[in-house]
A and B are shown apart, each in its own frame.
Chain A
Amino acid sequence: MQLKGGSSLWIGGGLVAAAILVAIFAPWIALTDPVMAANLMNAEIPPDWEYPFGTDAQGRDIYSRIVYGARVSLTVGIASQICNSLIGVTLGLTAGYWGGWWDDVVSGLTNLMLAIPSLVFALAIMAILGPGLLSLVVALGLTSWSFSCRIARAQVLSLKSQGYIQAARILGYSDLRIMFTQVLPNILGPLIVIATLGMGGAILAEAALSFLGLGIRPPFPSWGSMLSEARDQIRTVPWLSVFPGLAIFFTVLGLNLLGDGLRDILDPQSTTRRT
């Protein structure tokens, strides 16, 4: 437990839920179109009643861009973690289940992924695929599955040693069915925790890649690209960076808190403590 009681779960859950709701209802919450409602005559207006978060250099309403940006940032976070979980679980399950040379290959791959820092790997993939939402999902979704892979593999091995799998096989269950009905439910808790914490990491990684010039495909906004673009003007036009910065901070904070809270519920033995 990182914060007292379940407060981290509730605060975190609240922040994340707010971000998700904003993303879902973006067209209704936003005041203007995030791309087309540009008017250079309105460029860089400080926050006021008409533009609650001010406008950017293109004269677009920053509030509306942040509302739509939630879609991009959350999509990147969620989709990349789904990728990571799928890859990790598939490799981990099959490696633990079949063992042998395949296990060696998977553990080799896992070591490989650990040895190349994920940001470097993501940088390489982004350079190859070029900037864009799909590229981001791929770059961040292919680079950090080693942890879920290990958990899945360890769970299979433990069930194996307890004879469950042997028994299921004797009953005539198929390999796939055993993996999905016997193994998967046991690791779902830790996986959700990993994915929640990973989502925060992915949103930050998106910002870092934007900073390096390899972010989302324009002109659709992401929080990372908005923050990155505004970095020369942090002092002179502060509202350009303050609001996307806060959006990133509170969403990632929410995800981290939620992950901590979920860990207490879903993973009391804390196989995910090491994150």
Chain B
Amino acid sequence: MRKLAWLAAAAIAVIGAGAAEAQQTPRKGGVLRMTAPYSASFGSLDPHTTPRAQDDIVNKAIHRTLYNWDTAGNKLALELAKSVSTSADGLTHTFKLRDDVVFHNGRKMTADDLIWSYTRIMDGSKGYPAARYIRIIKGAVDVEKGQAKEISGLKKVDDFTLEMTLTDKVEPGYYFFAGSTAILPREEVEKGNFASAPVGLGPFKFKEHVPGSRVITEQFDKFYKAGKPYLDRYEILIMAEAAARDVAFRNKEIDTSILGPAQYVAYRADPQLSKGILEVAEMFTRAITFNHDAKPFDDKRVRQAINHAIDADLIVKRLVKDKAYRATSWLPPSSAAFDKSFKPYAFDQAKAKKLLTEAGFPNGFEWELTTSQNESWGLPIVEAIIPMLDKVGIKVKPKLVEATVLTEILMKGEHKSLISSNLTGPDSLATLRCFYSKTPRTACHYTNYNNPAFDNLLDAAAKEGDMAKRNDMLRQANNLLYEDAPVWFFNYNKAVLAYQPWVHGLQANPTEITHQYPEDIWVDASSPAK
């Protein structure tokens, strides 16, 4: 409980800081040197081809999507449309598009561009990752299978009015805000060199890409938000190696850095550096996914025992250095369906022992746990768990794999258990679908959890039009997960971005902290970058 109160206080502190900054007058001009910390290169600058968080850092500067995450309001908001109206059956949405959106090549964006972009994503021979979002539009699957040329659910009413019919009653924002659903100018894409010279409609124009090193973008003066962007130049520098990033940040060669637990402690302890730390509870839940097809994880008591046997609070505090919030159940605290009255599983090895004995494992068992090397949700966590579980007789044998193959292992169901970080937002319904018994394993149902009561709740929630009632049902479903413990609930990520004192206007984006909308960022005159 104390933990949650603290969490709320922290959230307020972050918002408060943002408000204080907003009172200053943003300065025009200057350069921001953002870091891309996740991988040693960008996959592609063609946003449709890439599902990667790393690439979205660039996409946010050059491209835009129909919806956006509104950090101040902590909700999804229309970006390329002024308004939307929904039909009575909740399936057809009519978007009034902005009429002041101009591509970097000078052409105005119209409804045709949305239709073309969404149709391109459904090209079945290319396997564009965003197809999983666009499939919600009626007729999109036919295009993917090659049975139709046009998506029947998309209709252009006039240049700035788009009618979109969906297959399900969902909030479209969840589907059309991912970077991989960006609206692209057809004529530029068809030139065939788009990934090397992307043209978008975002606040910054592409200038240079040195693969493996950096992307440089320049202010676009016809951006549709008045007076923005502030920066002359927005650079994204690749720096995957945390130790090197630390040196570069302290050396003022970069303006932002992502901190891991170890550096988080060091930066908080430093009187100067501690002034430039942005924290946000991201929508990621770290957990050990049990494969319920494999013994002994088919037994609820075993899973509960493990949840009791590990002192997760201690790990969060000492090893993760408070760079996370202890997980209660699957949905993160930022979800409307999060139940604040629940307490996480208590650390109680006696109870764990008892549960194990009841389940028929009085002496524990041997357990192969697949893990990556990630410092926040990989090997170090497993190393800390090993001696804890040893005390209740469970012998953990870690199996180290590369982070890249984790998903594939999960999809194939080759694991007995696997520790990973899972995206659990912002669409709580879609997030919980990962435990719906009819969801195929390959589409995130990695546990093979099966509880009819849970299925019923989800079915009802999907049909429910009233958001408050729907959230109520989702809350009950999430609480069911708590009870059934299909995973070991570890923590919700606290993403930490360090920034230099001259940087202002950063947003605490809970979907991914590095996904900054750069038009809001400005630097004051003390920035050394030119």
Contact = CB atoms under 8 A, between A and B. Distances in A.
B246 to A, nearest CB: 6
A154 interface: no
B260 interface: yes
A131 B401 CA distance: 7
A125 B382 CA distance: 25
A186 interface: no
Interface stretch (A19-27, A38-46, A168-176): A38-46
A38 B314 contact: no
Q: Which of A35, A40, A229, A234 has the most C-beta atoms of chain B within 10 angstroms of its own C-beta?
A: A40
A236 B383 contact: no
B383 A58 contact: yes
Contacts of A35: 383, 386-387
Interface in B217-275: 242-243, 246, 260, 262-263, 265-266
Given A36-B386, A218-B398, 10 more contacts: A35-B386, A38-B383, A57-B318, A58-B383, A218-B382, A218-B400, A232-B263, A233-B263, A235-B246, A237-B262
A136 to B, nearest CB: 12
Contacts of B266: 233, 235-236
Contacts of B387: 35-39
A177 interface: no
Contacts of A233: 262-263, 266
A219 B243 contact: no
Nearest to B267: A236
Contacts of A38: 383-384, 386-387
Contacts of B137: none
Nearest to A39: B387
B89 interface: no
Contacts of A58: 319, 380, 383-384
B246 A232 contact: yes
B383 A132 contact: no
Interface of B: 242-243, 246, 260, 262-263, 265-266, 311, 314-315, 317-319, 371, 373, 379-380, 382-384, 386-387, 390, 398-402
B230 to A, nearest CB: 32
Contact of A218 (B242, B263, B317, B379): B379
Contacts of A160: none
B274 to A, nearest CB: 13
B38 to A, nearest CB: 14
A218 B373 CA distance: 10
Nearest to A214: B402
B254 to A, nearest CB: 16
A76 B55 CA distance: 38
Given A219-B383, A237-B262, A43 B319 contact: yes
Given A36-B390, A219-B382, A131 B400 contact: yes
Interface residues of A, number: 28
Contact of B260 (A39, A132, A232): A232
Contacts of A234: 243
26 contacts: A35-B387, A38-B383, A41-B314, A57-B262, A58-B383, A58-B384, A127-B402, A130-B399, A130-B400, A131-B400, A213-B373, A213-B402, A214-B402, A217-B398, A217-B399, A218-B382, A218-B383, A218-B398, A218-B400, A219-B379, A229-B380, A231-B242, A232-B260, A232-B262, A233-B262, A237-B262
Interface string A177-221: 000000000000000000000000000000000000110011100
A59 interface: yes
A139 to B, nearest CB: 14
Contacts of B386: 35-36, 38, 219
Interface of A: 35-41, 43, 57-59, 127, 130-132, 213-214, 217-219, 229, 231-237
Contacts of B243: 231-232, 234
Contacts of B398: 217-219
B383 A217 contact: no
A57 B380 contact: yes
Chain B at the A interface: SS class = helix
B23 to A, nearest CB: 35
A218 B398 CA distance: 7
Nearest to B250: A235
Complex A-B, nearest 5 residue pairs according to Cβ-Cβ distance, in ascending order: A40-B318, A236-B266, A219-B383, A131-B400, A231-B243
A132 B402 CA distance: 12
A235 B260 CA distance: 15
A57 to B, nearest CB: 6
B315 A217 contact: no
A105 B225 CA distance: 68
Nearest to A37: B387
A219 B386 CA distance: 9
A131 B372 CA distance: 10
A190 to B, nearest CB: 37
B427 to A, nearest CB: 32
A40 B383 contact: no
Contacts of B383: 35, 38, 58, 218-219
A40 B314 contact: yes
Contacts of A237: 262
A39 B386 CA distance: 11
Contact of B400 (A40, A43, A132, A236): A132
Contacts of A127: 402
A59 B388 CA distance: 13
B66 to A, nearest CB: 38
Contacts of B380: 57-58, 229
Contacts of B314: 40-41
Contacts of A219: 379, 382-383, 386, 398
A134 to B, nearest CB: 13
Contacts of B384: 38, 40, 58
Contacts of A131: 400-401
A237 B263 CA distance: 10
A236 B315 contact: no
A236 B267 CA distance: 10
Q: Which of B318, B371, B399, B402 has the most C-beta atoms of chain A within 10 angstroms of its own C-beta?
A: B318
A23 B382 CA distance: 26
Contacts of B246: 232, 235
A229 B319 CA distance: 13
Contact of B262 (A37, A41, A217, A236): A236
Contacts of B263: 232-233, 236
B311 to A, nearest CB: 8
Contacts of B401: 130-131
Contacts of A41: 314, 318
A233 B311 CA distance: 25
A38 B388 CA distance: 9
B206 to A, nearest CB: 31
A135 B188 CA distance: 48
Contacts of B318: 40-41, 43, 57, 59
B247 to A, nearest CB: 9
Nearest to B245: A232
A246 to B, nearest CB: 18
Contacts of B262: 57, 232-233, 236-237
Contacts of B400: 130-132, 217-218
A58 B390 CA distance: 15
Nearest to B396: A219
